[in-house]
Copies of this chain bind each other. A is one copy, B any other.
Amino acid sequence: MAPKWRELADKLAERIRSGEYAPGQQLPHIRDLVEAGEGSKSTVHAAYKALEAEGLVTSSRGHGTVVRQQAPLKRLGIARYDKAKWRDGDEVAFIADRVASGRAYKRGEQTQSVSRVPAPAMVAAAHGLPEGAEVYARARLVKEGDQPTHTLTSYYRPEHVEGTRIVDPAPGPAGRGGGFRVLYDAGYDIDHMREELFARIPTTEEATLLQLAPGEWVVELHRTTYTADGTVVEFAIGIHAASRFAWAYDFKVPDSAQEAKQ
């Protein structure tokens, strides 16, 4: 026998999924359900809290409890890094994504700050630097309208970017074409990348910054960008609201026996 609060939560969840309670619509008030004999206030509240943790509703004092509308997944493929976009045109990679998905770019959807900092251990390892060596950190918070979707912090070696637009802490994308274009103009043509991703529980700062629903996880993405000779020119860490993104990768099936013959 499942607990009473769990049964109530499941009943409401079922009605939400069936569309009986539509996105944006108010759920019954807690006190009404108490009145209706669904349990004490604590019990009904526990059910509502479970629904909130499951991402189905959001509650706020004074307002009530409303069914969340799920933003559609944003699909990220490696095509978002297409050189044609940032080298030949003047789109920034992440803006190109938006154009492709039919959303207009709005000013102010990205805030940026640049600073010179001692490299955290992971950054130092990626760049092959001693821990604590100084690097430039370019931190962005990207929004979709009012809603923050992810942070992205790029770390550069000073000798690669000193004197370029990247170091200029003006807001907005790092000039025409973004960071890759700046590196390109400085003689560092990016060639290949490695992305590593995993999901985890957000820190409280991340939960606040990204306005995460209670219980929502984040996906942390590590991107290492290389030139053709294997030099690391950028290491970036992104923190994404887990419910808003999907990633896709295409690759050849490796064959180490074949490579050995060549």
Q: Taking beta carbons and an 8 Å cutoff, which residues of A are in contact with B?
A: 42, 53-55, 73, 75, 78-79, 81-84, 87-88, 190-201, 215, 217, 219, 225, 242-243, 245-258
8 Å CB contact of A82 from B199, B250, B256: B256
Across the A-B interface, the 6 shortest Cβ-Cβ residue pairs: A198-B246, A199-B242, A83-B255, A84-B257, A196-B248, A249-B249
Collect the chain B residues with CB atoms within 8 Å of residue A245's CB. Answer: 198
CA distance A57 to B256 in the complex (A): 43
Q: Is the CB of B195 within 8 A of A253?
A: no
- Copies, count: 2
8 Å CB contact of A249 from B200, B242, B251, B257: B251
Given contacts A42-B42, A196-B246, A199-B242, contact A251 B253 (CB under 8 A): no
Collect the chain B residues with CB atoms within 8 Å of residue A252's CB. Answer: 191-193
- The contact sample of 7 A-B pairs, CB cut-off 8 A, is A84-B256, A87-B257, A193-B250, A196-B247, A200-B243, A242-B242, A251-B251
8 Å CB contact of A88 from B191, B197, B242, B257: B257
* Closest-CB distance, A106 to chain B (whole angstroms): 25
Collect the chain B residues with CB atoms within 8 Å of residue A255's CB. Answer: 82-84
Q: Is the CB of B217 within 8 A of A253?
A: no
Q: Is the CB of A253 within 8 A of B192?
A: yes
Collect the chain B residues with CB atoms within 8 Å of residue A243's CB. Answer: 199-200
Collect the chain B residues with CB atoms within 8 Å of residue A54's CB. Answer: 201
Q: Is the CB of B201 within 8 A of A219?
A: no
Q: Is the CB of B81 within 8 A of A195?
A: no
CA distance A252 to B194 in the complex (A): 9
* Closest-CB distance, A50 to chain B (whole angstroms): 10
* Closest-CB distance, A80 to chain B (whole angstroms): 9
CA distance A190 to B253 in the complex (A): 7
* Closest-CB distance, A221 to chain B (whole angstroms): 10
Collect the chain B residues with CB atoms within 8 Å of residue A78's CB. Answer: 251, 253-254
